[in-house]
Amino acid sequence: MAGSSEIAQLAERIERLLVRYGELQRTSTLQTEQIAALTQERDSLKSRLSAARARVDALLERLPEVPQKDAV
């Protein structure tokens, strides 16, 4: 009964494919969650950088101007 053996092999391959599919779905979900977390962290860091730049710019504006000597 070669047909029965082939069906058993196909069933085994299908089971392995289903297991692999489940693993890939879990991996994809984890990667999606990591991307969301990293995106949020990036946005937070960009916001902090922007605020720091604004503070530095404000400090620079408060500095007195230094007269420059003319180069000869």
| Cα-only R_g, the chain | 31
Q: What is the pLDDT of residue 1?
A: 58
Tokens 């999606």 identify what position? Answer: 32
Cα separation of 50 and 58, whole Å? 12
pLDDT digits (tens, 9 = 90+) for 59-70: 999 999 888 877
Question: What's the predicted TM-score (pTM) here?
Answer: 0.67
Would you list the domain boundaries of the chain? 10-59
